[in-house]
A and B are shown apart, each in its own frame.
Chain A
Amino acid sequence: MSCRALLLILDVDNMSATGKKGFQPTFNQTKKGSDRLDEAFPSTNSPRLLSGNEAIARAAWEAGVHVACGYPGTPSTEILETLSQYRQVKCEWSTNEKVAMEIAIGASFAGARTLVTMKHVGLNVAADPFFSAAYTGVNGGLVIISADDPGMHSSQNEQDNRLLAAAARIPILEPSSSQEARDFVIAAFDISEKFDLPVLVRTTTRIAHGKTSVKTAGRANIPLRRYQKQPSKNILLPSVSQRKHKRIETVQMPLLKQQAVRWIQTFEGDSNLAFVTSGASFNYVREAFPDASVMKLGMTYPLPEPEILAFAKGRKRLIAVEELEPFLQQEIAALGIDIEGKNLLPRYGELSVDIIRDSVVPGARPKAVPSTNSLPLPPRPPVMCAGCSHRGTFYPLKQLNAIVAGDVGCYTLGALAPLEAIDCSINMGASISMAHGMEKVLDESESKRLVAVIGDSTFFHSGITALIDVIYNDAHTTTIILDNHTSAMTGHQPHPGSGVSINGDVAKKVDIEALCRSLGVASVRRSNPYDLIGTFKIIDEELHRDGASVIIADAPCTLKAKQRFGEPLILETQQCTKCFACTRIGCPAIELEERQLRINPLLCVACGHCSQVCSNCNTGLDIPLILELMHQKRYREAFSVILQESPFPAISARVCPHPCEKEVNALGQLQGKNRAKRYPELLKEFPQSENPNSISIHAIERFLGDYGIVNIAGEEFAPAHVRRGSVAIVGSGPAGLSAAWHLRRNGFQVTVFDSNEKPGGMLRYGIPEFRLPRDILDAEIERLFSIGIKFLCGKVLGNDLQLEELKVQFDAVILAIGETSPKEIALQGARNIEEGLSDGLAFLHRYNSGDAVPISGSVAIIGGGNTAMDCARCARRLGAKATIYYRRGKKDMHAYSSEIEKASREGVEFKFWSTPTRLLSKDAAVSGLVMAKTRPGTLRQLFEISTEEFTIQVGHVIIAIGEQADLDLLTDLGVANKHGMDVNFMGATPDSGVFGCGDAAFCHGTVTQAIATGKRAAESVKTFLQENNVLNAPMPDKE
């Protein structure tokens, strides 16, 4: 392979050390200790490994730069960070790119070599001075670094700033390595001064952040140029500009073109396949086609036309390879050359060796590429850090259902699940102005929810002018300034509010609060983002205020401050209700393993967000918010907050064991004490019966549930829009109904099937009326009818319904079929109520259906759970003498203590430490039971059965020792595992499109836990429908 550099002028010596043209630096002997970096890396010929950004900084220092400024932005930030360590250069972080550009122009006018740095979109901010800078030209050399980000590793768009520079008549250099980054920047100062023009050096992410070896030299002794007043040069009055523009086009550009030849590197190879390229693309081309002919352009504007024409001559194929815009391609095509480019290669994203190989010669891949992973892998996107203060503002914004105009910074991550608290985000400083524009259009109910959220650095950058506009034009927008005292996203650069300069010296601090007040903002308040409900209240108040307001969410960046608020929190798994409420804040320290949440102690900084969200509620109700709204007597809204989680507040309040009333929640917060302290009047109105120092949450839930039944029509919760996507739900117990509720509220078309005559499942056929009045049950189930859920009752899965058919008819199926198989017990005999032996659930079903139940005399109930209590209390109501036999002691029973107490009060008797062994019968009817005595077990055995037996005389035995999932049915359906339904924590089964919730999927739980699993399955279905593009298909004509 011949690889010949025809014209390689860019060696270090020529450009920087002994350059022949104009640039004649001499090296000053820097005093020892005057320069930290140079001490660490003394100037020798041995190369060092530098990133493009470090090389640019080094080059600026070597080239004798006196002033450098910019605004942080990936991938440009490290240039000034590195350069600021050279004390001979006056460096600063400017408030924005426009200011930086103007500072640079001023410094150049005054006679200094000046560097200004920014990311690609920063040049848009600086466009005004940038577009006129060529007209004035320079005094000291002026070099602008534009770090473009093709592929958008960390940007809102990808733009090719070569277009901007060409339009501004500013020459462009594009380095391909760190060495070139250094050499080109040094040469750029030379060009700038020689041709009296600013020069733009365009890097891209790969050049800026890639590290390659660089040979460096010392600092050139470039004296400041003398300042002269030059009105005919530096005052752009039309008469001056007319002359200057003409000079650019007729004198400067032609001269520049003549020297552009110096920047060409040519590799002569296969004459039939030739490339013209620049920057990072050059490396890819050489690697993809090492044998091809390549013309590498170091200066990409203006272009050396005769040399390009000569290179193109006689080529079978000439291809321009460049990232983003067809900049070279169009310029070269304009010379009348036949050139390919964007017809082959994408105009978006980064290029790569792979893309170039595949696009230029399709199908001619030199190597077999290994297959990609077949497994779907969980993504791992960047997230807000554990303990991040921003979370404490976005969570209340979500609670408020606020319309949020967002901005650019770490906090843009507030847009991601689960917070999803940002409506729009475009560019730096846009939040306040966008919100102002939205306010002009939205109706009052919407504009009362309108918030602009902006970071402190971004506020200084370009939020202030928008806020002034808001004041001047009498808008009511609420602005939240997330003040974490640093530019966090780009790596903690200081800004005007930090009180620190780029060098780490103490700097003047601009007071955001005083600034806002001076602008005439009606209300300026500070919030503590680590107090969630406090922040909620402040935002809520400001949203309802007339006139513009500013809230400063004041807390330092946890990552920068290395803040720890205490020992890592511990999640008490025994107490955790698995409602997943704590996961709503989206903290990465909350991890899930084996269906149990835990706190990762390496990540947790004990900020306390999760412990404020944990309510220890089975359904995951937002109890702090409900209490706050109750306190403000906003009952309707409090009711709506419950209905976001559960359709059944009046039912839950009556049947839930309310673990939410525990004094300490699963994350260690003293919730009982805190609630009582915050809301003394609620304590007075709703005290717990057993502990009058604590607020009774279930009493409040019952109040709100009953309030809702009376005062709020179910139709109010109907979805505003019906969407594509039909879901079948089999089973209408609390889990199935909860799933139906949440899916319908999202607009899906939901049909619920049930084997019974009426919907409700265990609520109707398991729980007796004396625990759950039927008018309450009916009223709350009616709510589901009124939002448009369809019910088809009397359908039995496996008989009337087939899963395979449901999968065809519906886009997704949820199985909420409960645990229906009674647990095995060593007691022979057919279950038949007439003959005196029945299972608890069957007995309750018959009782609750209103059918006659032939029971009288003495009844033995076996079991210690709530079903056993219900059976005993029903038996009492049928006039029987009921005795509960339990194999262990009183305190071991699973039933709620309140239920045990009620049963006892109604005359139910309890016998502990015994278990049935044999049934006695007479004339085909039960006559008695042989019981064995039991005693506490040792080691892992809960109890042991002794040989001591006794006999009891009873006419009826009810076995209420619990149920399990119908494994045979689940196996037939293809979704079984050892214990029940094979589901992940969100209820998805391995069978795509089939989901599970409730007891069948998550084993025995309470009514309220079932409601929570129903909500999760609904979420899972929603994600499934989204990912399968069901939602994008056209809507059917009729629902």
Chain B
Amino acid sequence: MKKNKGEKMNTGHSGKTINVVIAGVGGQGSITSGQIAARAAMLHGTEVAMSEVHGMAQRGGSVMSTVRYGSNQSPVIPMGEADFLLGFESLEALRYSPYLRSSGVAIVSDQRIIPTIEALKKATYPTNIFAELKIQTKSAIFLPALEIAAEIGNPRLIGSVLLGAFSAFMDFSASIWKQAITDIVPHATIERNLQAFRAGYEFTIDADVLSAEKPVTVNDSVFITA
């Protein structure tokens, strides 16, 4: 059951770009998700640009990549102009939240990855990330992506869970997403990635995120749309 179809992001036909910032911790697989999101656009016939991070950004560091629908030039997204923030980890979502427009949507895994002890000497891990994100944007969705992924069989599936949630806002067809996932992920993991994708999508749709006006609690996750 797709809701609020009229509010969905119309990709690539309005002449305007749709900007997606993906934030996470190195090693979480955020770049793969960016590739899937970009691949979907290619299959759909929409122009797309994306950026990746290489080099020093090895495992464990803060990682940000971007996907830009409707552009074939620069993947770099200016501050305050992202329409979506896909947060693989709560703190990293908060770190890159200044990229979001006030009308943007944050889709954030509630997972917490504690930074190193040296980092914690400088500042503590914030406890009120959800409230902070809520202030900065129209819609903030926290979902237990890690829990869902683990249930399906592998914590590394969180990217597909988040993409499934993201897909609820986009007008790419299910078959495009399916093809995009099939094209990008390792062959042996296609089925589970599709399952994770579906779970993320259904979670978002069932929770009525798109039309909810008040915070509702579903399976320990809070959804708010202002």
A residues near B (Cβ < 8 Å) are 47-49, 51, 74-75, 77-78, 153-154, 176-177, 179, 206, 209-213, 280, 283-284, 286-287, 352-354, 367-373, 375-383, 385, 410, 416-418, 489-491, 559, 580, 583, 586, 588, 590-593, 602, 984-986, 1019-1020, 1023
The answer to whether A352 and B76 have CB atoms under 8 Å apart is: yes
The answer to whether A209 and B54 have CB atoms under 8 Å apart is: yes
* Docked CA distance A364–B55 (Å): 36
The answer to whether A51 and B52 have CB atoms under 8 Å apart is: yes
The answer to whether B50 and A49 have CB atoms under 8 Å apart is: yes
Chain A nearest CB from B111 CB (Å) reads 12
Q: Which residues of A contact B73 (CB under 8 A)?
A: 176-177, 212, 283, 286
Chain B residue at smallest Cβ distance from A46: B42
Chain B residue at smallest Cβ distance from A1020: B121
Chain B nearest CB from A901 CB (Å) reads 39
| Given contact pairs A354-B79, A984-B124, A380 touches B25 in the complex (Cβ within 8 A) | yes
The answer to whether B91 and A378 have CB atoms under 8 Å apart is: yes
| Given contact pairs A74-B56, A209-B53, A370-B102, A377 touches B94 in the complex (Cβ within 8 A) | yes
Known A-B contacts: A154-B56, A177-B72, A583-B117. Give 15 more (CB < 8 A). A74-B55, A77-B54, A177-B74, A287-B74, A353-B78, A370-B102, A375-B123, A376-B123, A377-B91, A379-B123, A382-B57, A382-B59, A382-B60, A417-B118, A1020-B121
Confirm or deny: B170 has a beta carbon within 8 angstroms of a beta carbon on chain A: no
Our pick among A206, A287, A367, A593 for the contact of B51 (Cβ within 8 Å) is A206
Q: Which residues of B contact A593 (CB under 8 A)?
A: 114
The answer to whether B117 and A590 have CB atoms under 8 Å apart is: yes
Q: Could you show 6 A-B contacts with beta carbons less than 8 Å apart?
A: A153-B56, A354-B78, A377-B94, A382-B57, A417-B118, A418-B117
Our pick among A77, A373, A588 for the contact of B116 (Cβ within 8 Å) is A588
Q: Which residues of B contact A588 (CB under 8 A)?
A: 60, 116
Our pick among B42, B71, B75, B97 for the contact of A373 (Cβ within 8 Å) is B97
The answer to whether B61 and A382 have CB atoms under 8 Å apart is: yes
Confirm or deny: B153 has a beta carbon within 8 angstroms of a beta carbon on chain A: no
Chain A nearest CB from B187 CB (Å) reads 14
Our pick among B76, B101, B120, B155 for the contact of A283 (Cβ within 8 Å) is B76
* Docked CA distance A176–B73 (Å): 7
The answer to whether A490 and B76 have CB atoms under 8 Å apart is: no
Q: Which residues of B contact A491 (CB under 8 A)?
A: 54
The answer to whether A211 and B121 have CB atoms under 8 Å apart is: no
8 nearest A-B residue pairs (beta carbon): A154-B55, A74-B55, A283-B74, A382-B61, A380-B62, A353-B78, A376-B123, A369-B80
* Docked CA distance A75–B53 (Å): 10
Q: Which residues of B contact A986 (CB under 8 A)?
A: 121
**Count, chain B residues at interface, CB 8 A:** 56
Chain B nearest CB from A463 CB (Å) reads 21
Chain B nearest CB from A925 CB (Å) reads 53
Confirm or deny: B214 has a beta carbon within 8 angstroms of a beta carbon on chain A: no
Our pick among A74, A385, A489, A586 for the contact of B118 (Cβ within 8 Å) is A586
The answer to whether A370 and B52 have CB atoms under 8 Å apart is: no
Confirm or deny: B48 has a beta carbon within 8 angstroms of a beta carbon on chain A: yes
Q: Which residues of A contact B118 (CB under 8 A)?
A: 416-418, 586
Q: Which residues of B contact A209 (CB under 8 A)?
A: 51-54
Task: Identify which of residues 137-172 in chain B touch chain A, using a CB-to-CB cut-off of 8 Å.
Answer: 155
Q: Which residues of A contact B98 (CB under 8 A)?
A: 369-373
Our pick among B39, B55, B56 for the contact of A49 (Cβ within 8 Å) is B39
Q: Which residues of B contact A354 (CB under 8 A)?
A: 78-79
Most buried by B among A212, A367, A559, A984: A212
Our pick among A375, A416, A418, A1019 for the contact of B94 (Cβ within 8 Å) is A375
Chain A nearest CB from B80 CB (Å) reads 4
Confirm or deny: B224 has a beta carbon within 8 angstroms of a beta carbon on chain A: no
The answer to whether B124 and A378 have CB atoms under 8 Å apart is: yes
The 8 A CB mask of B104-137 against A (1 = contact, 0 = none) is 0000000000111111111111100000100010
| Given contact pairs A213-B42, A367-B81, A416-B118, A380 touches B60 in the complex (Cβ within 8 A) | yes
Task: Identify which of residues 4-54 in chain B touch chain A, using a CB-to-CB cut-off of 8 Å.
Answer: 25-26, 38-39, 42, 47-54
Q: Which residues of A contact B54 (CB under 8 A)?
A: 74-75, 77-78, 154, 209, 491
* Docked CA distance A559–B100 (Å): 34
Confirm or deny: B58 has a beta carbon within 8 angstroms of a beta carbon on chain A: yes
Confirm or deny: B178 has a beta carbon within 8 angstroms of a beta carbon on chain A: no
Chain B nearest CB from A272 CB (Å) reads 24
Our pick among A212, A280, A370, A580 for the contact of B80 (Cβ within 8 Å) is A370
* Docked CA distance A345–B30 (Å): 33
Confirm or deny: B95 has a beta carbon within 8 angstroms of a beta carbon on chain A: yes
The answer to whether B94 and A373 have CB atoms under 8 Å apart is: yes
| Given contact pairs A375-B132, A379-B122, A213 touches B61 in the complex (Cβ within 8 A) | no
Most buried by A among B51, B56, B117, B120: B117
Confirm or deny: B92 has a beta carbon within 8 angstroms of a beta carbon on chain A: yes
Q: Which residues of A contact B71 (CB under 8 A)?
A: 212
Q: Which residues of A contact B51 (CB under 8 A)?
A: 206, 209-211
Q: Which residues of B contact A368 (CB under 8 A)?
A: 80, 102
Q: Which residues of A contact B25 (CB under 8 A)?
A: 380
| Given contact pairs A354-B78, A367-B81, A592 touches B56 in the complex (Cβ within 8 A) | no
The answer to whether A592 and B117 have CB atoms under 8 Å apart is: yes
Chain B nearest CB from A91 CB (Å) reads 19
* Docked CA distance A491–B53 (Å): 12
